[in-house]
Amino acid sequence: MRARIYISPKESILDPQGKAVMGALKNLGFAEVQDVRVGKYIQIELGEGIEIEARVKRMCEELLHNPLIESYRFEMEEG
């Protein structure tokens, strides 16, 4: 089993890294770029277990994301 976890800054939080990337893209001629948010991607390989999705949610809430400034979502994949 594989968990794909996507963590991003909340919309209300300033994202200086995203702003820097957006500025660089515009400087390279990509004028169509309106906004950039930079986040994290975490992939975790898991063994079989009971309530595995609930355990992944707990991992996210207890360690992987900061609930004050970040939101997260995850997808589970067989494999």
Summarize the confidence of residues 9-21 as an average pLDDT.
97
Q: Which residues of 16-47 are buried (b: 16+ CB within 10 A; e: fewer)?
A: eebeeebeeeeeeeeeeeeebeeeeeeeeeee
The CATH code for residues 2-77 is 3.30.1280.10
Instruction: Specify the pLDDT at position 79.
Output: 72
Report residue 16's pLDDT band, with 50, 70 and 90 as the boundaries: very high
Query: What pLDDT, in 10s, does the model give residues 26-68?
Result: 999 999 999 999 999 999 999 988 999 999 999 999 999 999 9
Cα–Cα distance for residue pair 42/64, rounded to 1 Å: 9
Domain extents in the chain? 2-77
Considering the chain, what is the average pLDDT of its residues? 96
The reported pLDDT for the residue numbered 49 is 86
Contact 37, 74 (CB under 8 A): no
